Amino acid sequence: MSTSFVKETWIYASRVREFSLKDWIVYVLWVGMMYGLFAVVTLFIGVGHVNGVNFPAYVYNIPLGIFIFSTAIAFDTIGHRTIYKEFLQKAEALVHHITIFAGITSVLVLCMAYHFPVFLRIPALVLVSLSIVYSLIDEGLHWYRYLAQHSDRVEMWSHFFIFVGHLIMILAWWQWYSEGYQGVNETLALGFF
């Protein structure tokens, strides 16, 4: 007997009640970091926008992508810290750590590339590419688990939206960097940052 997707989502989200103290710490730090990135980027772009800075339209995709990414991670991490925790330890946890490392460092290098655009162009491209490649590897592992009935629709959809959000964010950010971070100088000159 199948259940509705809404009911499956409720059951999946309700697993936070199974969190240990360590699970809560990991969850709050990881999801909080992602929503923190969303807040900081949104604040920066918002301050510029409100004060008349003209950003290229695609720049607004960066906070949109981060929000989609962060919200999907908030769901996905529940399963990773509970029902699928043991299974993930086999190999997928390592892929997650590599993917997270590539993702975080790609954003950091893209930020530093504002000051060193020529020097950091290749490292930024490599890290952005690796964050995408390892996301694809992670997706493959998730589909393998799903086919082996060690995953569910909620986790699979959360991964879809992680991938969508990540790609929207990182490709828009790369485009912004590639075009010289239009609007950043003007926003910084406002004196808020």
Give the domain extent around 98. 20-179
- Domain membership of residue 85 (yes or no) is yes
- Domain membership of residue 131 (yes or no) is yes
Give the chain's domain count.
1
- Domain membership of residue 190 (yes or no) is no
pLDDT in tens, 20-79: 999 999 999 999 999 999 999 999 999 999 999 999 999 999 999 999 999 999 999 999
Name the pLDDT band for 1 (thresholds 50, 70, 90). low
Tracing tokens 């004196």 back to the chain, one arrives at 191
- Domain membership of residue 127 (yes or no) is yes
- Domain membership of residue 187 (yes or no) is no
- Domain membership of residue 5 (yes or no) is no
Whole-model pTM? 0.93
Q: 84: burial class by Cβ within 10 Å (0-12, 13-18, 19+)?
A: buried
Question: Residue 87 pLDDT more than 90?
Answer: no
pLDDT in tens, 96-130: 999 999 999 999 999 999 999 999 999 999 999 99
- Domain membership of residue 75 (yes or no) is yes
- The rounded Cα 78 to chain-centroid distance in angstroms is 15
- Domain membership of residue 27 (yes or no) is yes
pLDDT in tens, 127-169: 999 999 999 999 999 898 888 888 899 999 999 999 999 999 9
Dihedral pair phi/psi, residue 149, rounded to 5°: 65, 35
